[in-house]
Amino acid sequence: MPARSIVPAVTPRLDLTADPVELTAALVDIPSVSGSEERLADAVERALREQAGGLEIVRSGNAVLARTNLGRDSRVVLAGHLDTVPVNDNLPLSRTGGGEDEVLHGCGTVDMKGGDAVMLHLAATLEEPRHDLTFVFYDCEEVSADRNGLNRIERDLPDWMDGGLAVVCEPSDASVQAGCQGTLRVEVRTEGRRAHSARAWMGSNAIHAAEPILRRLSEYEPRSPDVDGLRFHEGLQAVGISGGVAGNVVPDECVVTVNHRFAPDTSLEEAQRRVREIFHDFEVTVVDAARSAHPGLSQPATAELVEASGGEPVAKLGWTDVARFAARGMPAVNFGPGSPTLAHTKEEHVAASQIRHCAGVLRRALGSG
């Protein structure tokens, strides 16, 4: 049997100066499911080194970072993840319509290669920005938080995450979504005593004992505070319940998993205290927690972006990586093409007009005018 030749994968060439719609298409056709971003990261790094003269560029795993060092009085960080959820029979890219009605369909069009394309286009074509700019293209956002590439960057290259404003180009329907909710997930546990179900009086049913937990959840009245002129909506929901041993055994344990979404006027410590007070007579274990992000609309760079967008900012109802930047004392917003409701779906698609609109808004907000 003849020896099989091994042909190295060719790094695709990206044209960063092209229409960002065409750049989006090129990015989408390079599969980059979480943990397999290397080929796309190679293409991004190569394109930046060849076409974005004057930028300082570093590689961190499958993340690529680039920044200007022009001595401006302020710095804006633009961030976007390179990975996608697993492909769902929605690659290669397809197109419908034409001109301003054109729509790109495929895995990553919304979440978030349209936003990545906008960032790459600006990195190569924006001359004399009014702020110094940092571009962060990172890996493993779509999987567990401990694998997120921003953790590694913050640990190894912390100054690359610093600035006066962070813009995470996640899909926001081309509107400025300011700040974000915090999230807290806890397990509320009840205990009982096992017995044969034929002699139930000899035991204590832990599932039955969970009734007060569910009643308090149904009676909970969520807050809707105004933060920086934006209306946020909180929530406290049971998202899971487990218990039971066998079909003929009175269970001795039941666990109700509860998710609390809290507004930016509430610290993580306050959110934890609030949940523990609600379930004060039960064992409560925190299993996941992330801080909220303040909108920071009063900051000059944020105001410039809102003005350039031509629309009204809205509150981000959900958690995104803007919170990582806010924890460093920076205002942070989401701004990118595509509807968040389409992210992770087989029907993922983005309008070409939104990609071009976002590129134009950021050019006006960050350029020298």
pLDDT over 70 percentage in the chain: 97
Residues 56-89: pLDDT tens digits? Answer: 999 999 999 999 999 999 999 999 999 999 999 9
Band (pLDDT 50/70/90 cuts) for residue 4 is very low
Band (pLDDT 50/70/90 cuts) for residue 9 is low
Q: Region 220-243: what's the mean pLDDT?
A: 95
Band (pLDDT 50/70/90 cuts) for residue 369 is low
Marked catalytic residue, from 111, 139, 141, 170: 141
CATH class of 182-290: alpha beta
Q: Return the domain boundaries, the chain.
A: 20-179+293-366, 182-290
User: Which CATH code is given to the segment(s) 20-179+293-366?
Assistant: 3.40.630.10
Marked catalytic residue, from 83, 170, 234, 321: 83
Place of tokens 């344990």: 253
Mean pLDDT, the chain, integer? 93
* Contact in structure between 87 and 73 (CB atoms under 8 Å): no
Task: Establish how many alpha carbons lie within 13 A of residue 296's alpha carbon, considering only the half-sphere containing its beta carbon.
Answer: 27
Let me know if 89 is a catalytic residue: no
Provide the token pair at 187: 């397990």
Q: Region 20-42: what's the mean pLDDT?
A: 97
What are the C-alpha distances in Å from 188 to residues 203, 244, 252? 21, 15, 14
Let me know if 83 is a catalytic residue: yes
pLDDT of 6 over the 70 cut: no
Identify the residue with better confidence: 299 or 222: 222
203 burial level (CB within 10 Å; 0-12, 13-18, 19+)? middle
Q: Are strands 103-105 and 349-351 parallel, antiparallel or unpaired?
A: antiparallel
Those residues whose C-beta lies under 8 Å from the C-beta of residue 122, and which sit 6 or more positions away, are 78, 133, 135, 359, 362, 363, 366
